[in-house]
Structure 1
Amino acid sequence: MGPSMAPTLENGDQLLVRYGGAVRPGQVVVLRHPFQQDLLVVKRAAERRAGGWWVLGDNPYNPTGDSTDYGAVPDELVLATALARFRPRQRPEHAPEDHRSLRAWLSWVSSALRPLRADSSASSRLRAR
């Protein structure tokens, strides 16, 4: 994952997904890139259009690699909706000294697994672009 979905997702995050099922505006989805179908992409479904789903990244400072580049994504390329994200903990030998404490471990435990809720502001961000 690149920076386009920050702050919702960070590089290295893992996703719990549900394949199939209905997509609703505001949900985080996993899709095949329309021009490079062996590449999986994670974006937010902003709205339904005639050609499929208009998808956007959450990071307004990195507006590339979404429907503004390749248009609406056909339904058959939207594979799954993301239910939750898991943020793995850095290995202790690679973590800074202050990340090895009990306090740092408890902080990680409290934030490692988070549900991904639909963001209703996705369509308003679309109108702002």
Structure 2
Amino acid sequence: MRPTLRDGDACLVLWGAPPRPGDVVVARLPERGLGIKRAEFADPDGSWWLRSDNVGVGTDSATFGMVAATDILGRVVARYWPRPRPLRRRRVRPAP
């Protein structure tokens, strides 16, 4: 899958906005600091499975596990630099 965002892209984030499956989110990642990932699905306890759009290079929940809902800081809604464009939710597979 092609990455949605690249290093150096400037984004508009709705801080505090709850994620929905398929959204690009800013999250505190375990032992990695902040990261931008795609929210796949939530467990009944509210933890989220996050996926990298660039699977060959990036890390995701397969590496660091589920991320607590309190660690999802906001939704990325648009890239405004270098070329502005809104981000769309991607259709995601149902939870296993």
Structure 1 residue 21: Cα displacement:
2.3
Q: Gaps (5+ residues) in structure 2?
A: none
Tell me the percent identity: 39
Give the whole-Å Cα distance in 2 for the aligned partners of 1:35 and 1:10. 22
C-alpha RMSD over aligned residues: 2.1
Normalising by structure 1, what TM-score? 0.65
Q: How does 1:35-74 map to 2 (within 5 A)?
A: 35-36=31-32, 39-50=33-44, 52-62=47-57, 64-74=58-68
Q: Which has the higher helix share?
A: 1
List 4+ stretches of structure 1 deviating above 3 A.
Answer: none
Equivalent position of 1:116 in the other structure: 87
Q: Which has the higher strand share?
A: 2
| Structure of higher CA gyration radius | 1
Q: How does 1:6-21 map to 2 (within 5 A)?
A: 6-21=2-17
Structure 1 residue 72: Cα displacement:
0.7
Q: Gaps (5+ residues) in structure 1?
A: 89-111
Give the whole-Å Cα distance in 2 for the aligned partners of 1:27 and 1:53. 11
More RCO (CA 8 Å, sep 6+): 2
Normalising by structure 2, what TM-score? 0.85
Q: How many residues align?
A: 95
Structure 1 residue 123: Cα displacement:
2.5
